[in-house]
Amino acid sequence: MRIYLDHNAGTPIRPAVREAIAEFLASGLHGNPASVHRSGQYARRELERARARVAALVEAPARSIVFTSCGTEANNLAIVGVAPASGRRRIITSAIEHSSLLAPLAQLERHGFEVIRVRPDCDGTIDPEKVAREMDDQTALVTLGLANAEVGTIQELTPVAETAKRVGATFHLDAVQAAGRLPLAVDTLGCDLMTISAHKIGGPPGIGALYVRPETALAPIMLGGPQEAGLRAGTPNLMGAIGFGIAADESMRLRETETRHLTELSQVLLNELNRDIPALHLNGPRTKRLPNTLNLTFPDALGETFLMALDLEGIEVSMGSACAAGAVEPSHVLSAMGRSATEARSSIRISLGWSTTPEEIAIAGAVIPRAWRRVAGEAMVEARA
Amino acid sequence: MKRRVLVAMSGGVDSSVAAALLCEQGYEVVGVAMRLTPEATTAGSRRRGTCCSYDDFEDARRVAEKLDFPFYVVDLRHDFQARVIDNFVGEYLRGRTPNPCVMCNREIKFDRLWQRAAALEADFIATGHYARIECDDAGAYHLMRAVDAAKDQSYFLFNLGQDQLARTLFPIGMATKNEVRARARALGLVNADKPESQEICFVPDGDYAGYVERTAPALTRPGRIVGQGGAVLGHHDGIHRFTIGQRRGLGISSEAPLYVRAIDPNTADVEVAARDLLNAKGLVAEQVHLVAGANTAEQFKAEVKIRYRHPVIPGTIRLTERTRAEIWFERAGPAITPGQACVFYRGDEVLGGGMIQRALEG
pLDDT of residue B361: 79
Report residue A158: phi and psi, to 5°.
Answer: -55, -45
Burial A192-202 (b: 16+ CB within 10 A, else e): bbbbbbbbbbb
Give contacts of A305 with chain B, Cβ < 8 Å.
74, 116, 119-120
Taking a C-beta distance cutoff of 8 angstroms, is the pair A175, A146 a contact?
Answer: yes
Q: How far is B56 from chain A (nearest CA, A)?
A: 9
Provide the β-strand partners of residue B350. B143, B345
Instruction: Please judge whether A312 and B54 are an interchain contact, meaning their C-beta atoms are less than 8 angstroms apart.
Output: no
| 3-class DSSP state of B160 | coil
Reading chain B (362 residues) residue by residue, the pLDDT tens digits are: 789 999 999 999 999 999 999 999 999 999 999 999 876 544 444 444 445 566 678 899 999 999 999 999 998 998 999 999 999 999 999 999 999 999 999 999 999 999 999 999 999 999 999 999 999 999 999 999 999 999 999 999 999 999 999 999 999 999 999 999 999 999 998 888 888 777 888 998 889 999 999 999 988 899 999 998 889 999 999 999 999 989 888 888 888 889 999 999 999 999 999 988 888 999 999 999 999 997 767 899 999 999 998 899 999 999 988 899 999 999 877 889 999 999 999 999 999 999 999 998 76
pLDDT of residue A321: 59
Q: How far apart are CA A88 and CA A82, in angstroms?
A: 10
Closest alpha carbon to A137 in A95, A102, A92: A92
Q: How far apart are CA A296 and CA A312, in angstroms?
A: 20
pLDDT of residue A40: 94
Please, how many CA atoms are within 13 Å of residue A72, restricted to the half-sphere of its CB? 8
Helices A38-57 and A238-276, axial angle in degrees (round to 10):
30
Q: What is the DSSP string of A294-356?
A: EEEEPTT--HHHHHHHHHHTTEE-B-SEE-TTSPEEPPHHHHHTT--HHHHHTEEEEE--TT-
pLDDT of residue A205: 97
Provide the β-strand partners of residue B24. none
Q: Pick B42's closest partner by Cβ from A324, A378, A385.
A: A324
Instruction: Please judge whether A374 and B121 are an interchain contact, meaning their C-beta atoms are less than 8 angstroms apart.
Output: yes
Sequence-separated (6 or more) residues with CB below 8 Å from residue A271: none
- The answer to whether A270 faces chain B, any CB pair under 8 Å, is no
DSSP letter (8 states) at residue B128: -
Report residue A305: phi and psi, to 5°.
Answer: -70, -40
Is pLDDT larger for residue A109 or for residue A378?
A109
Residue type, B69: F
Residue type, B12: G
Smallest CA–CA distance from A376 into chain B, residue: B119
Identify the sign of the CA torsion A353, A354, A360, A366. positive
Instruction: Please judge whether B74 and A304 are an interchain contact, meaning their C-beta atoms are less than 8 angstroms apart.
Output: yes
- The answer to whether B296 faces chain A, any CB pair under 8 Å, is no
Q: How far is A65 from chain B (nearest CA, A)?
A: 33
- The answer to whether B118 faces chain A, any CB pair under 8 Å, is yes
DSSP letter (8 states) at residue A13: P
- The answer to whether A323 faces chain B, any CB pair under 8 Å, is yes
Closest alpha carbon to B240 in B216, B258, B204: B216
Across the range A298-308, mean pLDDT stands at 93
H or E element that contains B289: strand B282-290
Give contacts of A327 with chain B, Cβ < 8 Å.
35, 73-75
Residue A336 confidence (pLDDT) above 50 = yes
pLDDT of residue B52: 57
Q: Pick A326's closest partner by Cβ from B57, B111, B112.
A: B57
Would you call B51 a catalytic residue per the annotation? no
Smallest CA–CA distance from A327 into chain B, residue: B73
Give rounded-to-5 percent helix, strand, coil for chain A.
45, 15, 35
Is pLDDT larger for residue B230 or for residue A298?
A298
Q: Mean pLDDT lowest for which of A54-63, A241-250, B255-264?
A: B255-264
Helices A238-276 and A15-27, axial angle in degrees (round to 10):
160
Would you call A323 a catalytic residue per the annotation? yes
Give contacts of B117 with chain A, Cβ < 8 Å.
none
pLDDT of residue A329: 67
Residue type, A3: I
Diameter of chain A measured on Cα atoms: 73
Q: What is the mean pLDDT of chain A?
A: 94
| Strand intervals (E) in A95-166 | 114-118, 139-145
**Contacts of B255-259 spanning 24+ positions with Cβ under 8 A:** B258/B227, B258/B233, B259/B335
Smallest CA–CA distance from B30 into chain A, residue: A312
For chain B positions 64-83, those within 8 Å of chain A (CB to CB) are 70, 72-75
